[in-house]
A and B are shown apart, each in its own frame.
Chain A
Amino acid sequence: MKKFIQHQGIAAPMDRANIDTDMIIPKQFLKSIKRSGFGPNLFDELRYLDEGQPDQDCSARPLNPDFVLNQARYQGCSILLARDNFGCGSSREHAPWALEDFGIRAVIAPSYADIFFNNCFKNGLLPIILTDAQVEQLFVEVQSNEGAQLTIDLQRQVVIHAGGSEMHFEIDGFRKHCLLNGLDDIGLTLEHAEAIRDYEAKRAVDAPWLFPSA
């Protein structure tokens, strides 16, 4: 997994609550058996005026000029600003894959849906939670200062914005550790293999019907 230590970039403001994972990556693109290549179809139905198909060359498709990611000032953005309950709905990990493939490294919102939030950490994508007021302030700053960049320092758990002011955010210790070091969860869990086997041995006595092959 890609490490996340510090990141600086343009933030695109998506002024909308309840952005669901169907919106982030529509179903027709879930037929891929790969983890990569979803970037051109990120927010497909909002971004383009026509209906997208898998494996299509998106460069010639008509763009929706009103959509924030199509606006010249947000080209090359790598941070997404959003409202409440970002990533609700389907568990599809294709949503963080599409964000990551597009070049987004962090999302900033007041709240997230649980499964999406979890999926981000498996893909080197940092979902930052700030208060409504802080998110609103960032929306105003980003919209009024073209080219303005935000800096995210994960080690110090701060978002550095206009004039060097800082906003502190919370993150679980384990998740922070994994992101900072780009660690693979499975490898870490397998360090507990003995604990897992001990659990199984005890459980097989209490609930043998759960171990039909034993």
Chain B
Amino acid sequence: MAGKTLYDKLWDTHLVCQQDDGSALIYIDRQLLHEVTSPQAFEGLRLAKRKPWRLDTNLATPDHNVPTTYDERQLGVDGITDPVSKIQVTTLDDNCDEFGIVEFKMQDLRQGIVHVVGPEQGATLPGMTVVCGDSHTATHGAFGALAHGIGTSEVEHVLATQCLIAKKMKNMLVRVDGQLGVGVTAKDVVLAIIGKIGTAGGNGCAIEFGGEVIRQLSIEGRMTICNMAIEAGARVGLVAVDDTTVEYVKGRPFAPKGEHWDMAVRAWAELHSDADAQFDKVVMLDGTQIQPQVSWGTSPEMVVAIDALVPDPAAEVDSGKRQGIERALQYMGLKPNQPITSIQLDRVFIGSCTNSRIEDLRAAAAVVKGRKVAATLKQALVVPGSGLVKQQAELEGLDKIFIEAGLEWREPGCSMCLAMNADKLGQGEHCASTSNRNFEGRQGFGGRTHLVSPAMAAAAAIAGRFVDVREMMGQGE
């Protein structure tokens, strides 16, 4: 019999019961909650007079529409000027208080983006099943955890039953071999993967990311890769557990201690695909060939290397794809064959659940240190992923580097990734963004998003247009 994939193992250890038609109940070890996709779930519980099945598996924090300016944050929930956002954050607080769920409220140092907070607290552990009413829950797969983004009805279902109704997905392996060049990061790797397999390339699959490049990445880098599995259509992204994973988890507040720690580490050693495991799909990339990436269109698959040109629809033979390119170019205000480096920028955003961790901020700070943001930019924002990331960055003096270079240093939250708070693009504005989606209107009505790594966003902030960050490395202060 063929060996098991990591996904097979995680599925098997969480299977509660299997139905004849292939659907199954799988047990959920951790649910993360935020203000946008939970209010209707709590309301559903109340209407049906149901109680959460197991309180200690839930952890909540507001992130999507909290303000990120210092002044607004000093007043707590009262500082939220948008009355509709305020109701949503207050509702999360009230629901967590009523049901007895642990919440890191807005004023708590541990508050932040759910996908930054969970791992940072050790609330995400290898071998767990993790769910959250957010598609970027795939992030937690970086720990060898089976993490699903779910809808609000499923949030309610997990609260009430501790289970998710699921159907086993197909196994897909994306292997990135070789070595990354200097200035090429996890974000470039995942953008290159999506560029290769497309936004529907992983539909119906759990993608395991493997190969030398992935093995050498830090946990932060692996989270960036798994985070964007959904942008390739896969609800689940995974990386096998190794020493890097165990080192990261050790000593975190929610991590097991003492005897349980030793037991857990022994169990986690099994969390990798067996050598003879069979995958339904395998995609290989040569990491050595990956260049810094920039998205030019309105779907994450519309991405090219920094030294490339904006595509010419005339060169596309498939009529559906040609129309897609034409529509994207029109929305983005770009011309065919225009060099990527000629795209002038209005704003820069460094943050989001994809790239707001300490390593991301260090990479951006290293580029802007001793330099100044281009005078043509309207705004360059740095939004740390959590209060603890912010604190760490300030201990290292990164905040001063950003501020001296002319970037704004903000309070933690999702911010301009989806523009539910006041941080947004104006119509027609181009933004170099370290977030995950460049859909039409994502960062603001009529806004034009270009997805890049933190280092590339920092370089773009200095130049006012896209530049190859490698040209700026080692030339600064």
Contact = CB atoms under 8 A, between A and B. Distances in A.
Contacts of B256: 209
Contacts of A90: 134-135, 418, 437
Given A23-B441, A89-B230, A192-B17, 5 more contacts: A22-B440, A30-B420, A91-B134, A119-B154, A186-B157
A207 B264 contact: yes
Nearest to A55: B84
A113 interface: yes
B149 interface: yes
Interface string B132-148: 01110100000000000
The CB with the most chain B CB atoms within 10 A, among A93, A172, A211, A212, is that of: A93
Contact of B163 (A173, A175, A196, A206): A196
A207 B267 CA distance: 8
Interface of B: 13, 16-17, 19-23, 25, 27, 29, 36-37, 39-40, 43, 48, 50, 53, 55-56, 64-65, 82, 84-85, 87-88, 91, 125, 127-128, 133-135, 137, 149-154, 156-157, 160-163, 165, 167, 169, 199-200, 203-204, 230, 233-235, 256, 260-261, 263-264, 267, 299, 320, 324, 327, 418-420, 427, 437, 439-442, 445-446
Contacts of B22: 172
Contacts of B48: 186
Given A33-B91, A55-B84, A196-B163, A209 B154 contact: no
Contacts of B65: 31
Interface in A84-109: 84-85, 88-93, 96
Contacts of A112: 203
A189 B159 CA distance: 12
Contacts of A211: 56
B233 A189 contact: no
Given A35-B40, A83-B320, A172-B167, A88 B441 contact: no
21 contacts: A16-B327, A20-B299, A31-B87, A33-B40, A35-B40, A51-B445, A55-B84, A89-B230, A91-B37, A92-B37, A111-B200, A114-B235, A118-B150, A118-B151, A123-B153, A173-B20, A190-B161, A196-B53, A206-B267, A207-B127, A212-B56
A192 B320 contact: no
A17 B161 contact: no
Nearest to A53: B84
Contacts of B418: 22, 27, 90
A88 B149 contact: no
Nearest to A51: B445
A160 to B, nearest CB: 25
Contact of A45 (B50, B82, B320, B440): B440
Contact of B233 (A113, A192, A207): A113
A33 B48 CA distance: 17
Contacts of B21: 172-174
Contacts of B40: 33-35, 93
A33 B161 contact: no
A147 interface: no
A112 B36 CA distance: 23
A18 B420 contact: no
A141 interface: no
A140 interface: no
A70 B441 CA distance: 20
Contacts of A199: 16, 27
A31 B420 contact: yes
* Chain A contact patch, size range: 35 or more
Interface in A163-200: 172-175, 185-186, 189-190, 192-193, 195-196, 199-200
A22 B419 CA distance: 11
Contacts of B204: 114
A186 B156 contact: yes
Contacts of A55: 84
Contacts of B235: 114-115
Contacts of A213: 55-56
A115 B151 contact: yes
Contact of A195 (B16, B36, B160, B427): B16
The 9 closest A-B pairs by CB, nearest first: A209-B256, A122-B153, A173-B21, A33-B39, A93-B151, A119-B151, A91-B135, A51-B445, A209-B260
A93 B162 contact: no
B128 A192 contact: no
A45 B157 CA distance: 32
A62 interface: no
A51 to B, nearest CB: 4
A89 B200 contact: no
A62 to B, nearest CB: 14
Contacts of B134: 90-91
Contacts of B157: 185-186, 189
Given A18-B299, A111-B203, A195 B17 contact: yes
Contacts of A93: 37, 40, 133, 151-153
